[in-house]
Amino acid sequence: MNIQKRYKFYAAHRNEELQDKCRNIHGHRYGIVCHFAVERRGAISTLFGEFDEVLEPFFKQHYDHGMLIHVHDPLYKTLLRHQQETGECFKLKTFDAPTSVENLAQMLFTEIRNFGFDLQLIEIQETDSSIVAYTYDDWVRETSQK
């Protein structure tokens, strides 16, 4: 059986490797749809709130109204230096690769699985017309190559 849950967060990012508009800092309202495999126990499988109790605070604390940034993006060092010099603190969610929606999907898939949920599919809507679907098979294939 499958339970589907929807979440959202707002975040800024840029992709420093591209030579188009996405090289500039910009923001998205990311729509997240998680598909969880669950086992039915009597009349129910899993209470929907069990996902929300964990994932809503997680998205709010680590992603919402923050900046997704690649640790090798030259801007990252600039932001760290600015924080040290001014005492200002930014919410920075660091990536080991460029902050593409594909890399976001892999990161979120791993983080959600690490909570113990049997996530089978995550869909991330970056714009009104662009959605990335990332499956358990994608995750197994990509994490075994590292």
Residue 32's nearest CA partner among 137, 107, 98 is 107
Name the residue range of residue 130's domain: 2-144
Please report, to the nearest 10 degrees, the dihedral formed by the alpha carbons of residues 89, 85, 71, 106 taken in order.
0
pLDDT of residue 31: 98
pLDDT per residue as tens digits for the range 6-21 = 999 999 999 988 888 9
Burial profile 75-110: b = 16 or more Cβ within 10 angstroms, e = fewer: ebeeeeeeeeeeeeeeebbebeebbbbbbbbbbbbe
pLDDT of residue 135: 98
Q: Is the pLDDT of residue 43 over 90?
A: no
pLDDT in tens, 55-84: 999 999 999 999 999 999 999 999 999 999
Q: Looking at the 3D structure of the chain, how many domains does it have?
A: 1
CATH number at residue 42: 3.30.479.10
Q: Using CA atoms, how far apart are residues 77 and 63, in angstroms rounded to an integer?
A: 20
pLDDT of residue 146: 65
84-138, pLDDT tens digit by residue? 999 999 999 999 999 999 999 999 999 999 999 999 999 999 999 999 999 999 9
